[in-house]
Amino acid sequence: MRSVTYAQAIRTALREEMKADEKVILFGEDVGQYGGVYGATTGLQREFGEDRVRDTPISEMAIAGMAVGAALAGFRPVAEIMYCDFLTHASDAVVNNAAKWRYMSGGQFRLPIVFRSPAGGGAGYAAQHSQNLEAWFTHIPGLKVVMPGLPRDARGLLRAAIRDDNPVVFLEHKAHYTFKGEIPAESEVIPLGVAKIQRPGKDATLVSWSRTLTYCLDAAEKLSEDGIDVEVLDPLTLQPLDIDAICESVARTGNLIIAHEAVVFGGLGAEIATQVTGRLWGSLKKPPLRIGAPFVPVPYSEPMELFVVPQVDRIVTEVKQYLGG
């Protein structure tokens, strides 16, 4: 095992897949000579050349459209959209083309595309550069959505996403690129659609992903000091969602808490709570709890941003109140 940052884990996955398959190409704003706004593609243009690692104009619509065309031509493009917020500009190519072609052609066309994009708040970038839009994309049939929180999972899942024959929206947390964790020295591909228990426990199941997952792991340690033993489950892939694994955990603990950074209203937590309640009605000790952001844009003010984005102490407090501790 070796310790790397989240950005290094992403770069490792890209390098491994580019070495394994010459059809894997990268493009996006500043991904070449500059190495990406967060350094996730540093050195890859020098190693693989400008034909395979290309800088693009500042046009998310053009980047996403280029990815669709390249995939139809037989490549495995990895397109970086500099901020998740700008996937809204690219959404016609992502939602109306990439997600639909395989279905509408009766399986004649494959679109093995990865749309990488940094999401989330915590960096002081305010309302137009801090959103979490995972729930939007999980609602689109034809797309897979991945949102890993730990470097090891980011590396293994990105490799699987690049190998997948379907378009994958791969969301990374922009305030998390310097977060460190261990990855194995040997090659590792983590299958999409399989959840992982990141911390076992018996009193409640705490489902979370992306950076909030690491906050939940910290919160679980604090709660253990008060005798509360929380199981932290990471779906890893949000679409397709491993609801069976979530239900198996909740069936053991009897309590379900979902924590995410996106706003609570219409968030993925509502879908998880509904599916678990439907399957385990009568086994739950109380209604599920959702922890997330209030229904406001992410503020620029640092104190206000910290208030809006769920933090470790807030997760601890809400879990204690929920469990009556």
Kindly list the catalytic residues.
60, 129
C-alpha 169/C-alpha 88 separation (Å) is: 13
C-alpha 85/C-alpha 83 separation (Å) is: 5
Secondary structure element (H or E) that encloses residue 222, with its range: helix 210-224
C-alpha 185/C-alpha 16 separation (Å) is: 12
Please list, in sequence order, all residues whose beta carbon lies within 8 angstroms of the beta carbon of residue 163, skipping any fewer than 6 positions away.
17, 76, 112, 189
Q: Number of C-alpha atoms within 13 angstroms, CB side, residue 137?
A: 33
Q: Number of C-alpha atoms within 13 angstroms, CB side, residue 8?
A: 11
Judged by phi (left if over 0) then psi (alpha if -120 to 50, else beta), residue 282 lies in: left
Contact between 148 and 210 (Cβ < 8 Å): yes
